[in-house]
């Protein structure tokens, strides 16, 4: 192999994942890839990983102006800065590997256009589910009309917190602090616990699953921050766990829906056993029923292993073709679907504020009130402010495909 076909990387960002990439490239002797320069915001900031003198720069031109660099790896925390870097690289015709899910979920249509206009590639398997190769599999193996549902635990931090609280009786705040110390959480951990990180990943997954881009504000998203002991007790009594679940589901041959919500997960489900910072993705389709992908969804080295895989894919000029986006019969997005939910509340008069299609169970004790009922997703979306009230917690009770498990 000559030096000419060596991958020479300009790396943007040297945080948890950036340093992980530095380490995995040292282990991957056959990668034939090297980091030439690392661009960071603050060169003087102390970092756990030592790099050779002159490797760090705070000037992006040291990367874009270096004719030797033939791949940009972008791992910057700030979504707008990351979009500027990625779009500049693509305009220079330099392929990019990125892990920036918030940025990609917001700008994906423009990024697809930029790849086409500049005849170059953007790969981002690391953006969704850390080490699990979900994007490339959806793009290549599930490249057909059989897919019915992609559903799972897409956020390691919230799953870590729920596991510690649920299985180890720890308190919520110390579990969150630990998720931050372990490098799982976002710099703003509300993205993890309020469901936005899962939402961004779901948006990206849906483009590769069904060929449709749906903007974040059109998708019902609720996280885990309002969970209380009574919810955990309720789940335990029913022999279930509460997990933060993101899902995109075909509700009819021509329609699909998607949402992010805590879910009461039955022991019989694959994701019941997905604990700590692990992620688990269930892919359901006609003919093959269910398949399950499991792996570490957060942390420097697991995410860096996915970056390495994309770097290696560029050795073979791999790029996403977004084939499903040009299918003639793409399903349309609908929120006109019935869900079954558990809503626990206290002061907020939930039964007066929400119209249920049917109520299955209701408890009205002074300290603990809940409703289990069927409700239209549009009703939840129209009243989404209710779920900002700290005394209100909602969890989905799955009803799609229930007779097919």
324 is catalytic: no
Strand-pair partners of 340: 374, 397
How far is residue 265's CA from residue 263's CA, in Å, rounded to a whole number? 6
Which residue, 306 or 335, is less far from ligand HSE as judged by CB? 306
For 61, residues 6+ apart whose C-beta sits below 8 A from its C-beta are none
Which residue, 166 or 184, is less far from ligand HSE as judged by CB? 184
DSSP summary character for residue 217: G
Least distance between ligand HSE and beta carbon 335 (Å): 25
130 forms part of the interface with ligand HSE (CB under 6 A):
yes
Residue with tokens 């910072």: 277
Phi then psi for residue 250, to 5 deg, are: -80, 120
Least distance between ligand HSE and beta carbon 260 (Å): 13
Residue with tokens 């504020």: 353
- HSE of 57 in the Cβ direction (CA atoms, 13 Å)? 18
Q: Do the bridges between strand 147-153 and strand 56-57 make them parallel or antiparallel, or are there none, so unpaired? A: unpaired
Kindly name the residue from 101, 106, 151, 201 that is annotated as catalytic: 201
Using the rule CB under 6 A, which residue among 10, 156, 280, 398 binds ligand HSE? 156
Least distance between ligand HSE and beta carbon 155 (Å): 4
Do the Cβ atoms of 57 and 51 come closer than 8 Å? no
Binding region for ligand HSE (CB under 6 A) out of 32-40, 149-157, 167-175, 224-232: 149-157
225 forms part of the interface with ligand HSE (CB under 6 A):
no
**Which of 8, 29, 20 shows the shortest CA–CA distance to 48?**
20
How far is residue 271's CA from residue 353's CA, in Å, rounded to a whole number? 32
Considering CB under 6 A, how many residues would be counted as binding ligand HSE?
Answer: 11
Which residue, 199 or 339, is less far from ligand HSE as judged by CB? 199
Binding region for ligand HSE (CB under 6 A) out of 112-120, 151-159, 347-355, 374-382: 151-159
**Which of 11, 15, 72 shows the shortest CA–CA distance to 39?**
11
Q: With 0-12 CB in 10 A as exposed, 13-18 as middle and 19+ as buried, what is 148?
A: buried
Least distance between ligand HSE and beta carbon 239 (Å): 27
Residues in region 164-203 near ligand HSE by CB under 6 A? 184-186, 192, 197
125 forms part of the interface with ligand HSE (CB under 6 A):
no
Least distance between ligand HSE and beta carbon 354 (Å): 30
Residue burial 244-257, b: 16+ Cβ < 10 Å; e: rest: bbbbbbbbeeeebb
163 forms part of the interface with ligand HSE (CB under 6 A):
no
Strand-pair partners of 220: 259
Structure tokens at 134: 């979900």
For 317, residues 6+ apart whose C-beta sits below 8 A from its C-beta are 121
Residues in region 323-342 near ligand HSE by CB under 6 A? none
Residue with tokens 């991958």: 7
Least distance between ligand HSE and beta carbon 304 (Å): 11
DSSP summary character for residue 177: H
115 forms part of the interface with ligand HSE (CB under 6 A):
no
Residues in region 276-315 near ligand HSE by CB under 6 A? 297-298
Least distance between ligand HSE and beta carbon 99 (Å): 7
Least distance between ligand HSE and beta carbon 311 (Å): 18
**Which of 397, 405, 401 shows the shortest CA–CA distance to 245?**
397
155 forms part of the interface with ligand HSE (CB under 6 A):
yes
Which residue, 10 or 297, is less far from ligand HSE as judged by CB? 297
157 forms part of the interface with ligand HSE (CB under 6 A):
yes
Known catalytic residues?
201
Residues that bind ligand HSE (CB under 6 A): 130, 155-157, 184-186, 192, 197, 297-298
């Amino acid at each position: 192999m000559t030096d000419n076909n060596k991958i020479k990387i300009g790396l943007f960002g040297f945080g948890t994942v950036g340093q992980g990439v530095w380490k995995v490239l040292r282990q991957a002797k056959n990668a034939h890839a090297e980091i030439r320069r690392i661009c960071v915001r603050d060169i003087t900031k102390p970092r756990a990983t030592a790099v050779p003198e002159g490797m760090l720069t705070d000037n992006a031109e040291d990367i874009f102006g270096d004719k030797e660099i033939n791949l940009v790896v972008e791992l910057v925390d700030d979504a707008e800065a990351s979009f500027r870097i990625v779009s500049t690289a693509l305009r220079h015709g330099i392929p990019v590997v990125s892990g920036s899910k918030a940025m990609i979920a917001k700008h994906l249509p423009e990024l697809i256009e930029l790849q086409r206009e500049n005849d170059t590639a953007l790969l981002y398997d690391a953006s969704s589910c850390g080490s699990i190769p979900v994007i490339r599999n959806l793009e290549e193996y599930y490249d057909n009309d059989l897919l019915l549902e992609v559903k799972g635990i897409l956020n390691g931090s919230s799953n870590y917190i729920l596991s510690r609280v649920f299985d180890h009786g720890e308190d919520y705040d110390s579990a969150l602090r630990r998720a931050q110390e372990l490098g799982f959480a976002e710099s703003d951990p509300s993205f993890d616990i309020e469901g936005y990180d899962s939402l961004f990943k779901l948006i990206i997954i849906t483009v590769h699953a069904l060929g449709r881009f749906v903007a974040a504000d059109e998708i019902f998203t609720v996280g885990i921050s309002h969970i209380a002991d009574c919810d955990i007790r309720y789940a335990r009594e029913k022999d279930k766990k509460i997990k933060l679940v993101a899902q995109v589901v075909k509700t009819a041959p021509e329609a699909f829906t998607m949402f992010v919500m805590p879910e009461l997960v039955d022991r019989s489900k694959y994701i019941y056993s997905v604990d700590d910072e692990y992620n688990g993705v269930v892919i359901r389709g006609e003919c093959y029923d269910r398949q399950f992908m499991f792996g570490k969804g957060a942390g420097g080295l697991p995410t860096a292993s996915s970056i390495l895989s994309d770097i290696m894919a560029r050795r073979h000029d791999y790029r996403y073709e977004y084939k499903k986006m040009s299918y003639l019969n793409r399903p349309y997005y609908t929120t006109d679907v019935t869900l079954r939910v558990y809503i626990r509340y206290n002061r907020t008069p939930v039964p007066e504020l929400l119209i249920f299609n049917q109520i299955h169970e209701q408890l009205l004790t002074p300290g603990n009130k809940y409703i289990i009922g069927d409700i239209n997703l549009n009703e939840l979306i129209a009243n989404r402010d209710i779920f900002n009230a700290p005394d209100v917690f909602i969890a989905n009770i799955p009803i799609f495909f229930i007779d097919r498990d």
